[in-house]
Structure 1
């Protein structure tokens, strides 16, 4: 059993990480640069910051070595998820992006069943069907608007993130920061031929620097720290704060209001995810449940 004080520390750092990462969508909305330049700046700053933290925390350059195909897949999946995430934000609402992207845990479960032959409990299949119903509501409404491409990119983001989680389970736990750092650098390398980093405005550089050097790296560290004291389903439940707070910050700052279909489909998806995560956490004792 984990001491109650440790559980409270885990809750505190996990909530702090979820709240911090919820500002990512607002910062990206404030940037006026094109998608390739955004991905380049975000990838370079995030990658460099996390790799420096990885080396400083281990006092060894060996942590920068990738071992095995699983870690390579993590890097590729993370870079692909970045492309889909930024593309979705530029072509649909923040609410649609985050709500559709919240299907990532179930995309991971589906990919685990297909590629790893892992048996899934009946509850997971039921939850997945409800989730599909929520996504159908959102996509059906998008057919009448110009946000369909963005919604499809958000769905791609969910599946890339799911693939990232599946591959991460087969990688070393201590390589967590390294693989994400390389994923950021790979996304920047792929975007570089079409990016214009030197033409970026001063205000965009400030917003992207806050995002790539402070918000995403610190949120990543806080959420990783949370898994040292809480079971993974507990941290997943807390991370749902991002889906709720992200659109709130954008609405308060920029007046972007989700449409009715997103409210209905999003409420169905969020209620399903929260209920599933809560039941999963209730079945497991609090403790360290890291991905190895």
Structure 2
């Protein structure tokens, strides 16, 4: 944060963003607790998320007219979001929560690279120092996963970060009011793609309870809190706040399931977190 006193609206945005980041950190634990297969999890998560977002739009705006998509960027954002959902769930089933979230935290900087390649937006020189730090951290994690049997899961986690990066870039070209329709359609698209291989009716009552909690409460409410909070904060501040998920997600899984990250993940993760937090901190203090 900047050294000057924050206005009340910024404090409100800060509180909303921290609440949203903390709430979304429970997503990994809930998915870990579900025993169903990948396709069934993606189907239920997508259907519940899409239906909840649509209901929110109807109740808040009393119309589904704003639920329409306009333009290529919004369609790309929907597809990228749906692909990110699949890669995220697949990564959680094939590697550790810590690996998934730490690798996923590279998404904003992958978005920077995509912006440079596809939108010809030249990033500042400091960004490349961050990318070098991220690559070094990812190398440590991937090298250890080759012997631990987590390499496939780490590839899915990198796919998750890449899809999320593409989503961020596409979102910049979308209307501000398209945020919720994109999330809703992205959830429904992920469910549609998973449907041929899913077994929605074969899910246990216990799994359904966790998935309803995930798709109806945690993800939609966290999305709403973050969308409201980040409207009043700078991008570096948002980056710092979202790092809470990278720290808290593995913590909840460790407390409930006893899953502990290995030394390579701790070392690589520490390098990535310090790099991102340091970049955000100095960016927030930069004048102008």
Asked if TM exceeds 0.5, the reply is yes
In the other structure, the counterpart of 1:36 is 39
Q: Runs of 5+ in structure 2 lacking a partner?
A: none
In the other structure, the counterpart of 2:202 is 199
In the other structure, the counterpart of 1:230 is 233
In the other structure, the counterpart of 2:76 is 73
**Worse-superposed segment, 227-236 or 45-54:** 227-236
Alignment of 1:159-178 (within 5 A): 159-178=162-181
> For 1:245, which of 239, 243, 248 is the aligned residue?
248
Cα distance in 2 for partners of 1:239, 1:120 equals: 21
Conservation of the 8 A alpha-carbon contact between 1:11 and 1:226:
yes
Q: Runs of 5+ in structure 1 lacking a partner?
A: 286-292
Deviation at 1:58, TM superposition (A): 2.3
In the other structure, the counterpart of 2:8 is 5
Cα distance in 1 for partners of 2:133, 2:30 equals: 32
Conservation of the 8 A alpha-carbon contact between 1:21 and 1:216:
yes
Aligned length: 285
Alpha-carbon spacing, 1:56–1:284, altered in 2? closer, same or farther (3 Å): farther
Say yes or no: does 1:270 pair with 2:273: yes
In the other structure, the counterpart of 1:158 is 161
Cα distance in 2 for partners of 1:271, 1:204 equals: 36
Normalised TM-score (structure 2): 0.96
Cα distance in 1 for partners of 2:180, 2:59 equals: 11
Determine helix, strand or coil for the equivalent of 1:171. Answer: coil
Deviations 1:104-126 (A, max 9, x none): 00110000000000011110011
Deviation at 1:236, TM superposition (A): 1.9
Deviation at 1:3, TM superposition (A): 6.4
In the other structure, the counterpart of 2:224 is 221
Conservation of the 8 A alpha-carbon contact between 1:231 and 1:284:
no
Conservation of the 8 A alpha-carbon contact between 2:54 and 2:64:
no
Determine helix, strand or coil for the equivalent of 2:51. Answer: helix
